[in-house]
Amino acid sequence: MKELLEQAIELGKEEIPLGEVASYIPELANADVKKIGIAIQDMQGNMETCGDVDNEFTMQSIVKVAIYALALEDLGLRRVLEKVGVKPSADAFNSIVKLEDDSNHRPLNPFINAGAIMCTAILKGSIDKRRHRVIELLQKLFNRDNVQIDIDTYLSEKATGDRNRALAYMMKGTGIMDSDIDVEKVLDLYFQLCSVKVTVKDLANMAAVLANDGVSPITGEQILSLKVNRVVLTVMFTCGLYDYSGEFAVRVALPAKSGVGGGILAASKGKYGIAVANPALDIHGNSIAGVRMLEYISDKLDLETF
């Protein structure tokens, strides 16, 4: 396995010059483009790693998986579907154009920004309680108890988040977001959650839970219910890499979720949780080396879903 991961890293490195570090959130532009890592965990909880495995980066859109899962646990699929669709998008993750498409103006899916902001808005409890609950869920998914928010990234997101602000106010304007929701507070929480610091080891732990029907391979705890886990994986497969999801599905063929911090996690049901990271992104906002590494690993370990 170690050799396979080393090979994957070598292939990933070739892709780095073809990508670019995210710059629309100023703090992300400081990422070291040379940092590259992989972690893979099996269903017995054994982990193999390679590269810069202790390098920290922010979750960004990968946190949308936890927010969506919690919304589903809180409200159930039927009620969440009334507020957030599951339609793959041919537009960018921060696209503003498609909100009007749907008859009741639902955001297309929970993994584009509009959908994740909506999920944040419908979670149960006060904003503080929601933050606490998402962090608590992440701690279980990562199997560690000191999960933290990167304050500089959070403040940078908040200072430059006008596009997300526009999405949220538009959803309130169309009525799909309830009129009594405090948009600024919801956005503030969304920016904080995008700024959670992780390593590939954390994300491999999380991916392994998703691959193992919502059960931690390490502690045996059922962290996500079977039903929620199934829905989350399905939407990851169809929408996890934004408008690149279709091509990713044929190249890698695993449910996955990317973030503009450069991380991608992928789940191979009953086999492995995999996480890769490098901050050079393709035009869709996915780690370009990360996609290549996952393609190689999925092929060599014969993990393709179909």
242 catalytic residue (yes or no): yes
Residues 10-39 that bind ligand GLN (CB under 6 A): none
Return the structure tokens found at 67. 């927010």
**Is residue 164 a contact point for ligand GLN (CB under 6 A)?**
yes
Instruction: State the amino acid at position 63 in one-letter form.
Output: V
CB of 53 to ligand GLN, least distance (A): 21
CB of 202 to ligand GLN, least distance (A): 16
**Is residue 61 a contact point for ligand GLN (CB under 6 A)?**
yes
**Is residue 171 a contact point for ligand GLN (CB under 6 A)?**
no
Packed helices 127-142 and 200-211: angle between N→C axes, nearest 10 degrees: 90
Instruction: State the amino acid at position 27 in one-letter form.
Output: E
| Catalytic residue chosen out of the listed positions 35, 83, 147, 190 | 190
The answer to whether residues 274 and 39 touch, using CB atoms and an 8 Å cutoff, is yes
Among 55, 89, 94, 143, binds ligand GLN (CB under 6 A): 94
Q: Is 162 helix (H, G, I), strand (E, B) or coil?
A: helix
- Give bridge partners of residue 182 from the DSSP assignment: none
**Is residue 192 a contact point for ligand GLN (CB under 6 A)?**
no
CA angle (31 as vertex; 29, 35 as ends), nearest 5: 150
CB of 242 to ligand GLN, least distance (A): 7
DSSP state of 273: E
CB of 98 to ligand GLN, least distance (A): 16
154 catalytic residue (yes or no): no
Q: Is 70 helix (H, G, I), strand (E, B) or coil?
A: helix
| Percent of the chain as helix, strand, coil, to the nearest 5 | 50, 15, 35
64 catalytic residue (yes or no): yes
Residues 102-141 that bind ligand GLN (CB under 6 A): 113
Return the structure tokens found at 258. 């990317």
Q: How many residues bind ligand GLN (CB under 6 A)?
A: 11
**Is residue 60 a contact point for ligand GLN (CB under 6 A)?**
yes
* Positions in the binding site for ligand GLN (CB under 6 A): 60-61, 93-94, 113, 157, 164, 194, 259-260, 285
Residues taking part in catalysis:
61, 64, 190, 242, 260
